[in-house]
Amino acid sequence: MLTKPTTTDWTREGATPEEAGQDLEACHHAAQKRVDIDLQADQDMGVDTTTQGSLASNLSAYQSEKRINTLTHDCMIALGYGPAGKSTP
């Protein structure tokens, strides 16, 4: 299962751990909101994600979590952070 990124996963010159934590939380919140909106749009279009069985439900949850992590990553990059210990492309 995917995990939520932590402050120690990100670094930006001059950023304090508190700033990084606040930025990460803001990015994660924005990503969660975006995925929630997308899921609501699917439901409004008649896509039934609740009665397709546990495998489909688990896959949907995994895809949502993966999407949240991707959006959070992109947000942090846009704010000038880089993955700790890695160079950004």
Question: Quick check: is 8 in a domain?
Answer: no
- Overall domain count for the chain: 1
CA 85, 87, 88, 89 dihedral sign is negative
Kindly tell me if the per-residue pLDDT of 12 is higher than 90: yes
Residue 64 lies in a domain: yes
Helices (H), the chain: 17-44, 54-78
The predicted pLDDT at position 84 comes to: 83
CA-based nearest residue to 5, from 68, 60, 49, 64 = 68
Domain assignment present for residue 29? The answer is yes
Position 21 in a domain = yes
- 26 is in which domain, residue-wise? 17-83
| CA contacts within 13 A on the Cβ side of 88 | 15
Q: Is residue 56 predicted with pLDDT exceeding 90?
A: no
12 assigned to some structural domain: no
Residue 49 has pLDDT above 60, yes or no: no
Res 1: pLDDT: 45
In a domain, 78, yes or no: yes
Q: Is residue 7 part of a domain?
A: no
Q: What is the pTM of this model?
A: 0.73
Count the Cβ atoms, other than its own, within 10 Å of residue 79: 16
Residues 64, 4: contact at Cβ < 8 Å?
A: no
Q: Which residue has the tokens 């934590």?
A: 21
Interhelix angle 17-44/54-78, nearest 10 degrees: 140
Within a domain: 69: yes
